[in-house]
Amino acid sequence: MQITFASYNIRKAVGLDRRRDPERILSVLREIDADVVALQEADRRFGRRMSALPLDAIHTSTDYVPVPLSMKPDSLGWHGNALLVRRGIELLEAEPVPLPVLEPRGAIRADLALDGVRFRVVGMHLDLSGLRRRLQVRSVLSHVDGCAQEVPTVLMGDLNEWSNHGGCFQEFQAPWQVLSPGRSFPSRRPLALLDRIIVSQQWAIRGTKVHHSPLSAIGSDHLPVFASLELPKK
């Protein structure tokens, strides 16, 4: 069974042209066409923390259903983190993942099922501080270890880690595998691998990539990253 995962920091749908254009982001999501998408900076930061993507537009113009973890009625996510799941994938449970923070960052976890197979997804947006990033990764891993059932797991998001292999990546010991789809920031001329996907040992990796298109190059300051993963047949 093959499942595609993507992570995308949408910068509140404000592009490099300084225009807030939710439809452009939705078009990029349709281009990616992943089964599960983790979004970062999916809500505006102040006031009612309104979703950067109109909720009705997600339902009418995409094949996705948002995982219900919003902080406020008009929000899409938790501290800007949101998960979109393709229709037909079952949501079993979902909750925020507590992180040690000084600024509004967060993580969310959802247990999903496809064709009767349960799997787990964590979306996250980590701190700008290197020390705090490591503490946040430890919190995420502790949360996953504390879940009642061990299942195939995918962690993904904007890790804000400029080191290719050091920093917070040192917290991911075997059997975790850190994937490097490619340079994703800044979107116009990518230099850094800030957006990553980390997988548990049950997954076979069929491919990774950075989605670079005319729309994604201007839609946010990050490019989406993508991984195609497969679980062995029962």
Which CATH code is given to the segment(s) 2-230?
Answer: 3.60.10.10
Mean pLDDT of 138-144: 97
- Quickly state the pLDDT bin for 78 (edges 50, 70, 90): confident
Which pair of tokens denotes residue 83?
């998960």
Q: pTM, whole model, 2 decimals?
A: 0.95
* Cβ atoms of residues 86 and 33 within 8 Å: no
pLDDT at 66 over 90: yes
pLDDT at 122 over 70: yes
Tell which residue, 218, 224, 222, 223, has the closest CA to residue 19.
Answer: 218
Share of the chain above pLDDT 70, in %: 94
Tell which residue, 69, 61, 77, 67, has the closest CA to residue 23.
Answer: 61
Mean pLDDT of 214-227: 98
Which DSSP string corresponds to 70-102? Answer: -SSTT-SSBTTBEEEEETTSEEEEEEEE----S
Mean pLDDT of 25-51: 88
Mean pLDDT of 127-150: 94
d(CA 219, CA 21): 8
Tell which residue, 171, 146, 151, has the closest CA to residue 161.
Answer: 171
The pLDDT score that the predictor gives to residue 37 is: 98
The pLDDT score that the predictor gives to residue 69 is: 85
Share of the chain above pLDDT 90, in %: 82
* Cβ atoms of residues 173 and 189 within 8 Å: no
The pLDDT score that the predictor gives to residue 92 is: 98
The pLDDT score that the predictor gives to residue 100 is: 86
Tell which residue, 112, 124, 122, has the closest CA to residue 3.
Answer: 112
d(CA 109, CA 120): 7
Helices (H), the chain: 22-32, 55-61, 130-145, 216-219
Ranking 41-55, 135-149, 176-190 by mean pLDDT, the lowest is 41-55
Spell out the domain ranges in the chain. Answer: 2-230
Which pair of tokens denotes residue 190?
């990518």
207 CB neighbour count, 10 Å cutoff:
12
pLDDT at 114 over 80: yes
Q: What's the pLDDT tens digit per position in 166-199?
A: 999 999 999 999 999 999 999 999 999 999 999 9
Mean pLDDT of 118-129: 95
- Quickly state the pLDDT bin for 234 (edges 50, 70, 90): low
- Quickly state the pLDDT bin for 72 (edges 50, 70, 90): low
* Cβ atoms of residues 33 and 221 within 8 Å: no
The pLDDT score that the predictor gives to residue 156 is: 98
